[in-house]
Amino acid sequence: MADNPPKVPRRPILQTITTASVVGVTGCLGDADQEGESPSERAEGWCLEELSDEVPEEFETMESVDGRERDPDDIVTREEAGYVCRSENGQLCANCTFLITSNRSGFAAACTEVSGEIRTTDWCGLYQPAERLEE
Ligand code: SF4
């Protein structure tokens, strides 16, 4: 088991994400009102209805790909994390240090920091590169 580095304080990050999301949503609404919804705007949350808000029991305390522990009492919602249904400049759950992978049929993946099911092709504001990418 790898040593768990200190947890990153999430409150300042979440405040930034929340502020950015409000500005982004406001901007999107403004654009949609004037010109209709663009494909990139539609992509932001299109997958959320397909994702379960729960993770299978065995994932509740499972470790991430880098051995980070998942504490179900210390995680945030996808909304709080600024989760979007797309990658961000090459960053995505598949190469994030917090990813918990799954071969379970019908279940995509989980995360040590964010509640519910996630997809390996998506991204959130808590992203940190997996250790294999830092070497
Ligand atoms: S990008 Fe966000 S949701 Fe995806 S694995 Fe990393 S912390 Fe979890």
Q: Whose CA is nearest to atom 4 of ligand 1?
A: 93
Determine whether the shortest distance from the Cβ of 96 to ligand 1 is under 6 A: yes
User: pTM of this prediction?
Assistant: 0.75
Average pLDDT (119-134) is 93
- Identify the structural domains of the chain with CATH numbers, from first to last: 11-134 (4.10.490.10)
pLDDT of residue 7: 59
Residue 82 has pLDDT above 90, yes or no: yes
What CA–CA distance (Å, rounded) separates 100 from 112? Answer: 7
121 alpha carbon – ligand 1 mean position (Å): 10
pLDDT of residue 50: 92
Question: Hey, is 28 helix, strand or coil?
Answer: helix
User: Which residue's entry shows tokens 């998942």?
Assistant: 70
Between 2-6, 33-37, 89-93, 101-105, the lowest mean confidence (pLDDT) is in: 33-37
**Which two structure tokens, joined as six digits, stand for 114?**
């964010």
Round the average pLDDT of the chain to a whole number and report it.
80
